């Protein structure tokens, strides 16, 4: 990104907005670059490249929030854009019951870049294709021990560069490269089918593919599907222990802890779309889990998919201890909600593009590690099911009633992993799930995911993860 041009545009936007009557103004100039390649059943699809550049200006005027954005600075100057944002805020202020106010977070002045060894811009179509062909060569034609007549393999490299200015003094320049894989594998054997969607990704350059072993992971997943199709049996129907893998620990932490602890949902701001929360503003300090339930969100994890060292309100991203020993400890906050709570923002405001307002988002949400090794925690299971991967999942909009259907799952008897079981269903309330946590391993893994929220929708890259987490006294369903 041409830094000087971005600075000039952002500074001019903020200055014009203040001149037009904004009591607060911020401008974000954002450039995006992405390159993708797709193989469908081995057939190359048209390669795809995209570049974008635009400006978003958010203001407070007469107590109301206005946001205007464009990528067509030929049609509208940044000054006109700023004035438009102010006019929108003023025009809507008649419908305002409570003025929007910001906390007094310390404005950050920093230039940052997510580390990368091989710059992401070097991801040309040939490189992307080579990686996918490597995967294809390992799983096509039954090479992974199972017929996979449906294979869609996607690899993308992207870069987000932003320059952010606000009228409180924040000046932030960021560079965020990312590499991500998505695969859809459909297996057929003996007249039955199984399907697995695999998402892998991190911030960084081309080294990401080898660092997280994408090629090997996909091959391993394909082999697992075959085993499930051939030998899986019905899951037990009596009361069992459930051992959640890092993948299952992560999705449960994201869905039933991270989301309901977003302060904007708690206060009702997302009520029409993503919903509200079972926790109210006085929910801090409430017990929702056992003393072994410890869940955090940390935007500073190296290489993470949700790496956000400074958020899109110019606030330093801090680790959030969401649940500590079963007690609701902290909400995800931006500057507006923090003001309402009488707190300081913990840097959770993110926007996925220049044309989206920053809203509260998770970054990397995970169950904290415990003391057990993986082998030791399996030994703790007397009669149970190990949920290794999942397919179907969902949760109600207050985040109380959730469901995870396992794809790869195993019976565990007297501390030993036995054969695979078919499609066990964990359909459980949030307090029951976290109240049943008996132990955690120290083995941590993370999965990449795209978190949906906002209107218009903003799909935010995140990590979900954790250790193996042991739940006791659970009734399962089956599919």
Partner 1 sequence: MSGLDLKGLNDTAISTANALEVDDAVALSASGADSMIRFANNSVTVANRVEESELTVYLAKNRRRALASTSNLQSAAVKEFVRDLFSSMGGLPESDYVPLPDRPARYTPSKAGYDRRLESLEDDLPEMAGAAIAAAMAAGGTRSAGVINAGKVTVAILTSSGTQGIDSRTAITLNIRSFAEKEASGHGLSCSSSLSGFDPEEAGRRAGEGAKTMREASEPDAGKYTVLLSPTVASNLVETVAGAASAFAVDAGTSYLADSLGKKVAARSFSLTDHGVTEGGLGGRVFDDEGVRTRSNKIIEDGVLKGYLHNLTTASKWKVKDTGNAGFVSPHPWNLELEAGDSTYDEMVGEMKKGIVLTSNWYTRFKNYRTGEFSTVPRDGAYLVERGEIVKPLKGMRLGDGLERMFSSVTLLSKHREWIQWWEVDTPTLCPWMLIEGATITRAYG
* Contacts (CB under 8 A) with partner 1, residues 135-194: 148-152, 184, 186, 193-194
The least distance separating partner 1 from the CB of residue 426, rounded to whole angstroms, comes to: 8
Give the closest residue to 254 by CA, choosing from 322, 336, 330. 322
- C-alpha–C-alpha distance, residues 323 and 288, integer Å: 8
Quickly tell me which residue has 């890092």 as its tokens: 246
Helix (H, G, I), strand (E, B) or coil at 225: helix
Q: How many residues bind partner 1 (CB under 8 A)?
A: 94
Quickly tell me which residue has 């697992």 as its tokens: 224
Question: In the set 77, 125, 329, 344, which binds partner 1 (CB under 8 A)?
Answer: 125
Q: Which is nearer to partner 1, 130 or 416 (CB)?
A: 130
Quickly tell me which residue has 């393999």 as its tokens: 153
The least distance separating partner 1 from the CB of residue 266, rounded to whole angstroms, comes to: 12
Encoded one letter per residue, x for contact with partner 1 by CB under 8 A and - for no contact, window 360-389 reads ------------------------------
270 interacts with partner 1 by CB under 8 A = yes
Encoded one letter per residue, x for contact with partner 1 by CB under 8 A and - for no contact, window 456-475 reads xx----------------xx
Helix (H, G, I), strand (E, B) or coil at 261: helix
Give the pair of three-digit tokens for residue 387. 């949920």
Question: In the set 203, 304, 402, 469, which binds partner 1 (CB under 8 A)?
Answer: 402
Cβ neighbours of residue 313 closer than 8 Å, sequence gap 6 or more: 26, 102, 105, 166, 170, 334, 335, 345, 347, 349, 358
Encoded one letter per residue, x for contact with partner 1 by CB under 8 A and - for no contact, window 421-440 reads --x---xxx-xxx-xx----
The least distance separating partner 1 from the CB of residue 427, rounded to whole angstroms, comes to: 5
282 interacts with partner 1 by CB under 8 A = no
The least distance separating partner 1 from the CB of residue 109, rounded to whole angstroms, comes to: 26
The least distance separating partner 1 from the CB of residue 67, rounded to whole angstroms, comes to: 5
The least distance separating partner 1 from the CB of residue 46, rounded to whole angstroms, comes to: 4
Q: Which is nearer to partner 1, 114 or 243 (CB)?
A: 243
Question: In the set 16, 28, 84, 350, which binds partner 1 (CB under 8 A)?
Answer: 84
Question: In the set 3, 19, 91, 286, which binds partner 1 (CB under 8 A)?
Answer: 91
Question: In the set 97, 190, 191, 285, which binds partner 1 (CB under 8 A)?
Answer: 97
403 interacts with partner 1 by CB under 8 A = yes
Give the pair of three-digit tokens for residue 153. 């393999």
- C-alpha–C-alpha distance, residues 356 and 54, integer Å: 11
Which stretches of 287-400 are assigned E, i.e. beta strand?
A: 295-297, 320-324, 327-328, 349-350, 359-360, 364-367, 383-387, 390-395
| Paired strand residues for 15 | none
Quickly tell me which residue has 């870069």 as its tokens: 159
Question: In the set 392, 416, 418, 419, which binds partner 1 (CB under 8 A)?
Answer: 392
Cα angle 387, 288, 395 (rounded to 5 degrees) comes to 50
Cβ neighbours of residue 461 closer than 8 Å, sequence gap 6 or more: 178, 180, 201, 305, 306, 448, 449, 450, 451
Helix (H, G, I), strand (E, B) or coil at 258: helix
The least distance separating partner 1 from the CB of residue 264, rounded to whole angstroms, comes to: 9
The least distance separating partner 1 from the CB of residue 87, rounded to whole angstroms, comes to: 8
Site residues (CB under 8 A) for partner 1, limited to 100-119:
100
Encoded one letter per residue, x for contact with partner 1 by CB under 8 A and - for no contact, window 29-58 reads ---------x-xx-xxxxxxxxxxxx----
Site residues (CB under 8 A) for partner 1, limited to 322-361:
355, 357
Site residues (CB under 8 A) for partner 1, limited to 206-245:
none
444 interacts with partner 1 by CB under 8 A = no
Stretch that binds partner 1, among 215-223, 360-368, 390-398, 462-470 (CB under 8 A): 390-398
Rg (CA), the chain: 24
Q: Which is nearer to partner 1, 251 or 310 (CB)?
A: 251
Give the closest residue to 51 by CA, choosing from 79, 73, 31, 71. 31
Inter-CA distances, 351 with 153, 164, 336, 449, 473, Å? 27, 12, 15, 16, 41
Stretch that binds partner 1, among 172-180, 313-321, 343-351, 395-403 (CB under 8 A): 395-403
């Amino acid at each position: 990104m041409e830094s000087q041009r971005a600075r000039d545009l952002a500074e001019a936007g903020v200055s014009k907005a203040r001149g037009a009557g904004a009591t607060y103004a911020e401008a974000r100039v954002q450039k995006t670059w992405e390159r993708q390649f797709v193989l469908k059943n081995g057939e190359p699809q048209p390669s795809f490249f995209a570049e974008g550049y635009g400006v978003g200006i958010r203001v407070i005027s007469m107590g109301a929030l206005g946001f205007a954005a464009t990528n067509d600075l030929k049609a509208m100057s940044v000054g006109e854009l700023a004035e438009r944002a102010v006019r929108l805020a003023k025009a809507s202020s008649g419908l305002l019951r409570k003025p929007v106010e910001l906390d007094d977070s310390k404005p950050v002045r920093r230039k940052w870049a997510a580390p990368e060894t091989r710059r992401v811009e070097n991801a040309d179509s040939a490189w992307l294709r080579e990686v996918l062909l490597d995967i294809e060569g390992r799983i096509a034609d039954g090479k992974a021990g199972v017929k996979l007549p449906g294979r869609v393999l996607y690899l993308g490299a992207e870069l987000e560069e932003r320059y952010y200015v606000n009228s409180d003094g924040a000046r932030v320049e960021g560079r965020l490269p990312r590499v991500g894989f998505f695969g859809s594998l459909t297996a057929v054997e003996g007249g039955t089918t199984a399907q697995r969607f695999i998402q892998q990704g991190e911030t960084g350059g081309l080294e990401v593919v080898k660092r997280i072993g994408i090629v090997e992971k996909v091959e391993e997943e394909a082999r697992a599907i075959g085993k499930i199709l051939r030998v899986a049996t019905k899951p037990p129907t009596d009361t069992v222990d459930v051992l959640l893998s890092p993948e299952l620990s992560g999705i449960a932490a994201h869905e039933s802890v991270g989301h309901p602890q977003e302060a904007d949902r708690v206060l009702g701001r997302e009520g029409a779309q993503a919903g509200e929360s079972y926790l109210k503003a006085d929910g801090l300090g409430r017990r929702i889990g056992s003393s072994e339930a410890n869940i955090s969100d940390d935007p500073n994890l190296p290489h993470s998919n949700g790496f956000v060292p400074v958020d899109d309100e110019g606030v330093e991203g801090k680790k959030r201890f969401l649940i500590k020993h079963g007690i609701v400890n902290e909400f995800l906050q931006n500057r507006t909600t923090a003001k309402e709570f009488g707190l300081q923002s913990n840097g959770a405001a993110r926007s996925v593009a220049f044309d989206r307002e920053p809203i509260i988002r998770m970054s990397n949400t995970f169950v904290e590690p415990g003391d057990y090794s993986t082998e030791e925690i399996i030994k703790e299971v007397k009669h149970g099911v190990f949920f290794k991967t999942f397919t179907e999942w969902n949760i109600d909009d207050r985040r109380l009633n959730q469901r995870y259907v396992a794809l790869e799952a195993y019976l565990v008897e007297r501390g030993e992993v036995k054969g695979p079981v078919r499609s066990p269903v964990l359909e459980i309330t949030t307090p029951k799930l976290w109240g049943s946590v008996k132990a955690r391993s120290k083995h941590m893994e993370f999965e990449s995911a795209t978190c949906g929220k906002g209107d218009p929708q903003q799909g935010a890259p995140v990590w979900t993860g954790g250790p193996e987490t042991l739940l006791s006294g659970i009734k399962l369903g089956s599919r």
